[in-house]
Amino acid sequence: MSFFSLLAFSLPVLSGTLIAHLLWLDKNSPLDLFFKFSLGTGLGLGISALLYFVCLLFFAGRSFFLYVEAALFLSLLTAAYLKRKRMVRASSPRLKITLPQAAILLAAVIVFLSSFIGMVNYSRQRARGDWDAWMIYNRAARFIFRGGENWRDAFSSEMGVIFHADYPPLLALNTASRWEILGEETAFVPMIQGFLFSLAALGLSFGALAELKSLAQGGVGLILLGGVPFFLGEGGRQTADLPLAFYLLASLVSLFFYFRDRRAAFLALAGFMAGLAAWTKNEGMLFLFASVGILFTAALWKRSLLDFLLYFAGALPSLLLLFYFKSQIAPPSEFLGGGSLFPYLADGSRHQLIFSAFEEFFLHGGGWFGIGIYLVLSAYFLLFYSRGGNPAPILISLAILVFQMIGYYVVYLISPYDLTWHIGYSLNRLFVQIYPSAVFVVLYAGATPEMIFPSRPK
């Protein structure tokens, strides 16, 4: 059943890869194809969830979603063939790997394999996922799959707050749609979905840095992602934090490609990925609002709204469906339970507790030998910052990530839960969500190993 569960994901993954291929049709080296596959994996899974949600709205109880995905795949395959046929074929430059690059890539592969084996082993021990997985996402998937025309019961307001029926349903929709295709529930489906997002995040970081900076820099990114257990370990939990991390990274990567190539499609893709982030978890909505606000401010500064409108247009399909889900299907969030928020905001002890927790994780969390991984990234940025290139995407991305962190802080301030428990239970995962994006931005802004250790001319 594990093979058929993996096979059930093939159409959305291939469809997303074809969309990425259409965007970078002129790039066909093995490295380019690896990048397209990584980006396309998450993109295809996001599109599949949106399509399945629309099918549920209009055709609940009818099992024909496989044909919808097959039709999309064949349409994209035809479009790619026809567009490729009209293009003048150019030979891809031959990839030359120096000895220092080979050493870094070998280290990256060893780190990745070690971490991936650990993630698989954890998944085997907890086949049903961690608490949030089986209580929220897999539970919702079962309600959708078993409910037929009554699938909305998965998000009933009569459920206790512990089930978090208001959470965005991307993971649950993908799990339910794969079960529909397979004709039965199997724990392999959410497990494989977690693996796919984990591999996609690693591949996207490596491929984007290799394309935008250098091959060795991509290897360093892979080491920083795969070498910290607090990040890759999330892939085996079947929760939404690592998929959200993928979409945040994909949005920023698309933004960087737009600033390099000035192609409108990349900016719309950045917005679309931000919209998928909002469909994945509530923190994704925070990212969408933060990025929209930052880009709107930048547009006012430039006195041109074109960039903002392109980004917003990309996010709009997901935003409209999410608005319908939140307003017509899902119950209100526990954070919107009414009452004044001023006592929370004015409570100095809450500020002190939250700030201390953030400081502790920044200095000591997620890294090696008691040194925090975000402290390591900050030191790398200060030591190896390179002034070459366009600083605009770096500044915009850092501003978005800073506002994301401010949003986390505010959410803790107004939390209806015991604050000590809430911070201890979730702070680590919040830093997981932005970690790949932070690694990407820092390594993009920094000097590459090729610059620090230049090869001697022969």
pLDDT at 336: 61
Q: Which amino acid is at 314?
A: G
Separation of first and last alpha carbons in the chain? 54
pLDDT tens, residue by residue, 402-414 = 999 999 999 999 9
Q: Which helix (H) or strand (E) holds 144?
A: helix 138-147
Q: What mean pLDDT is predicted for residues 207-236?
A: 91
d(CA 281, CA 405): 15
- Give the pLDDT band of residue 339 (cuts 50, 70, 90): low
Cβ–Cβ < 8 Å for 205, 216: no
Q: Which helix (H) or strand (E) holds 252?
A: helix 241-261
- Give the pLDDT band of residue 457 (cuts 50, 70, 90): very low
Locate all alpha helices (DSSP H) within 332-445, ordered by sequence.
342-345, 348-364, 373-384, 392-413, 419-445
pLDDT tens, residue by residue, 124-179 = 888 888 888 989 999 999 999 999 999 999 999 888 888 999 999 999 999 999 99
d(CA 437, CA 224): 12
**Quick one: angle between helices 188-212 and 30-59, nearest 10?**
140
Domain edges within the chain: 7-86+108-452
State the chain's mean pLDDT as an integer: 91
- Give the pLDDT band of residue 440 (cuts 50, 70, 90): very high
Q: What mean pLDDT is predicted for residues 349-374?
A: 93
More confident residue, 291 or 367: 291
Is it the case that residue 389 has pLDDT exceeding 80? no
Q: What mean pLDDT is predicted for residues 275-280?
A: 98
Q: Which helix (H) or strand (E) holds 89?
A: none
pLDDT at 56: 96
pLDDT tens, residue by residue, 322-332 = 999 999 999 98
Q: Which residues contact 221 (CB under 8 A, 6 or more apart)?
A: 205, 206, 209, 439, 440, 443
Q: What mean pLDDT is predicted for residues 222-249?
A: 91
pLDDT at 356: 97
pLDDT at 45: 98
d(CA 276, CA 51): 12
Q: How much of the chain is helix, strand and coil, in % rounded to 5?
A: 80, 0, 20
